[in-house]
């Protein structure tokens, strides 16, 4: 997990999100402090295509963008480095 500049926590899941993969293609999730010791979970990004599974933690860079890696996808299906702007894409996938 990574701590964003605004106090949110970001992380990845190997499964979940899109149903294009058997158990989902993976997500980036955000936990925002809601007060009183509770947190609100949202999904800023999920992969809609098979093989894009994230396989490591997210890094929040000083530019505010989220960076991570995927196990598959990219040239020869050997993995990629990705960048995501932390905004809400779809809160219905989890």
pLDDT in tens, 36-86: 889 999 888 877 775 577 777 889 888 888 898 887 776 777 778 888 887
Domain assignment of residue 48, yes or no: yes
As a whole number, mean pLDDT of residues 16-34 equals 83
Q: Which domain holds residue 73?
A: 2-84
User: In this structure, is residue 92 part of a structural domain?
Assistant: no
Q: Is residue 94 part of a domain?
A: no
90 occurs within a structural domain: no
In a domain, 58, yes or no: yes
- pLDDT grade, residue 10 (50/70/90)? very high
pLDDT value at position 40? 92
Task: Report the distance separating Cα 81 and Cα 37, nearest Å.
Answer: 33
| 25: in domain | yes
Asked if residue 19 is part of any domain, the answer here is yes
Number of structural domains (the chain) is 1
């Amino acid at each position: 997990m990574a701590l964003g500049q605004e106090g949110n926590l970001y992380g990845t899941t190997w499964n979940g999100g899109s149903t294009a993969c058997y158990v989902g293609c993976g997500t980036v999730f955000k936990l925002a402090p809601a007060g009183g010791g509770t947190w609100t979970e949202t999904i800023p990004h999920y992969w809609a295509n098979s093989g894009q599974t994230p396989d490591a933690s997210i890094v929040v860079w000083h530019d505010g963008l989220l960076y991570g890696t995927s196990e598959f996808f990219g040239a020869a299906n050997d993995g990629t480095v990705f960048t995501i702007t932390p905004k809400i894409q779809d809160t219905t996938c989890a």
